[in-house]
Amino acid sequence: MASPGTLQCRHKLDSYKKLKSNNIVKLKADRCIIAKETEMDDCIFCKISQGVIPANKLYEDDEVVAFWDLNPQAPKHFLIIPKKHVVGPATLAPADEALMGRLTRRAAELATRHGIPDFRLVMNNGAKAGQSVFHLHMHVLGGRPLSWPPG
């Protein structure tokens, strides 16, 4: 089990070897334990949106950034995030509703623009639902038939 302040990551360690992850704090079996990212200072997606950590970006404006996922789960897999640090869907404030609408519309526009007419939008909330980065993000997946229900 992960100790308080950390999370057991659902990804295989091999995935994370690619991530230059300064947030890996401990290794256990073939999995890694990652620091729980609840602080902006310690948040990999805040760093990507600020350009401190490089990412293969496909879109950026004042409010949102989209970049290709480092460990894609489909032939086309990108993430779209608000620049503002929000932990996840469950912590959205009423004032974030317009931002979420823009995020969703931009995700769909980018999917179409990048040759993904059929796509799936996924937002994981909480470690047991598969969230491993605690800065709200929407996965945009496509490029192959996607089965249902998801795992």
Q: Which of 37, 106, 132, 142 binds ligand 5GP (CB under 6 A)?
A: 132
Polymer length of the chain: 151
Q: Which of 77, 106, 135, 139 binds Zn ion (CB under 5 A)?
A: 135
Distance of CA 96 to the CA centre of its chain: 18
> Would you count residue 43 as binding ligand 5GP (CB under 6 A)?
no
Q: Which of 124, 136, 140, 141 binds ligand 5GP (CB under 6 A)?
A: 124
Determine how β-strand 64-68 pairs with β-strand 138-142.
unpaired
Residue 145 DSSP label: -
Shortest reach from residue 46's CB to Zn ion, in Å = 3
Dihedral angle of Cα 101, 106, 109, 114, to the nearest 10 degrees: -150
Determine how β-strand 76-82 pairs with β-strand 64-68.
antiparallel
Look at residue 49 and give the partner it binds from Zn ion, ligand 5GP, none, a contact being a CB closer than 5 to 8 Å depending on partner kind.
none
Contact string 60-99 vs ligand 5GP (x = CB under 6 A): -------x-xxx-------x--------------------
Annotated catalytic residue 137: yes
Alpha-carbon span 81 to 139, nearest angstrom: 9
Catalytically active residues, by annotation: 137
